[in-house]
Structure 1
Amino acid sequence: MRRKIILDVDTGIDDSLALLYLLASAEAELLGIAATAGNVPAAQVAANTLALLDLAQAPPIEVALGASEPLAIPLRTTEDTHGPQGLGYAELPVTARELSARSAARMWVDLVRAHPGAVTGLCTGPLTNLALALRIEPELPVLLDRLVIMGGAFNHPGNTTPTNEWNIHVDPEAAKEVFDAFSAAPADRRPIVCALDITETIEMRPAHLVALAEAAGSTPLEHVAATDTPDWRSCASNPIIAYLTDAVRFYFDFHQHYDLGYLAHMHDPFAAAVTLDPGLARTRPATVDVELAGTITRATTVADWAGMWGREPNADIVIGTDPAVFFDRLVTRVGALARRLYPEQP
Structure 2
Amino acid sequence: MRILFDNDTGIDDALALVYLLSKPEVDLAAITCSAGNVSADQVARNNLALLQLCGRPEVEVAAGASDPLSIPLVTTPETHGEQGLGYATLPAASAPVSQRSAVDLWIEEVRRAPGELTALLTAPLTNFALALRRDAELPRLLKRTVIMGGCYFYQGNTTPTAEWNTHVDPHAAAEVFAAFEGLPEEQLPIVCALETTERIELTSAHLARLAQEAGSAGEELLRPEDPPGTPSTAANPLIRVLSDALRFYFEFHRQYDQGYIAHVHDLFAAAVAAGTVDYRVRPATVHVETAPGPLVGTTVADYRGLWGRKPNARIVAWNDPPAVFDEVIGSIAALARRLESGTG
Query: Structure 1-normalised TM-score?
Result: 0.97
The separation in 1 between residues aligned to 2:5 and 2:109, in whole angstroms, is 12
Instruction: Report how far residue 231 of structure 1 moved.
Output: 3.7
- The aligned residue for residue 335 of structure 2 is 337
Contact 2:290–2:296 at 8 Å: present in 1 too?
yes
The separation in 1 between residues aligned to 2:218 and 2:32, in whole angstroms, is 35
Instruction: Report how far residue 295 of structure 1 moved.
Output: 2.4
CA RMSD of aligned residues (A): 1.2
- The aligned residue for residue 252 of structure 2 is 254
Q: Which amino acid aligns with 1:116?
A: P
Which ranges of structure 2 fall in alignment gaps of 5 or more residues?
Answer: none
Contact 2:40–2:63 at 8 Å: present in 1 too?
yes
Query: Residues 44-193 of structure 1: matches in 2 within 5 Å?
Result: 44-193=42-191
- The aligned residue for residue 244 of structure 1 is 242
Q: Which amino acid aligns with 1:169?
A: H
Instruction: Report how far residue 278 of structure 1 moved.
Output: 7.0
- The aligned residue for residue 293 of structure 2 is 295
Instruction: Report how far residue 289 of structure 1 moved.
Output: 1.4
Instruction: Report how far residue 279 of structure 1 moved.
Output: 5.4
Q: Which amino acid aligns with 1:305?
A: Y
Contact 1:217–1:339 at 8 Å: present in 2 too?
yes
Q: Which amino acid aligns with 2:75?
A: T
The separation in 2 between residues aligned to 1:221 and 1:331, in whole angstroms, is 18
| 1:284-343 deviation line (CA, Å, top 9, x unaligned) | 110011011262211101100110111111111001111000000111000000001113
The separation in 1 between residues aligned to 2:104 and 2:14, in whole angstroms, is 23
The separation in 2 between residues aligned to 1:60 and 1:223, in whole angstroms, is 31
- The aligned residue for residue 283 of structure 1 is 281
Q: Moved runs in structure 1, 4+ residues, more than 4 A? A: none
The separation in 2 between residues aligned to 1:318 and 1:264, in whole angstroms, is 20
Secondary structure of the residue aligned to 1:218 is coil
Which ranges of structure 1 fall in alignment gaps of 5 or more residues?
Answer: none
| 1:35-83 deviation line (CA, Å, top 9, x unaligned) | 1000000000000000000110115011000000000011000010001
| 1:106-146 deviation line (CA, Å, top 9, x unaligned) | 10110000000111000001000000000111000101111
The separation in 2 between residues aligned to 1:103 and 1:220, in whole angstroms, is 44
- The aligned residue for residue 265 of structure 2 is 267
1:320 equivalenced with 2:327 (yes/no):
no
Contact 2:80–2:249 at 8 Å: present in 1 too?
yes
The separation in 2 between residues aligned to 1:235 and 1:46, in whole angstroms, is 27
| 1:230-268 deviation line (CA, Å, top 9, x unaligned) | 241012110000001100011000000000000000100
Secondary structure of the residue aligned to 1:254 is helix
Of 215, 219, 222, which aligns to 1:221? 219
The separation in 1 between residues aligned to 2:254 and 2:229, in whole angstroms, is 17
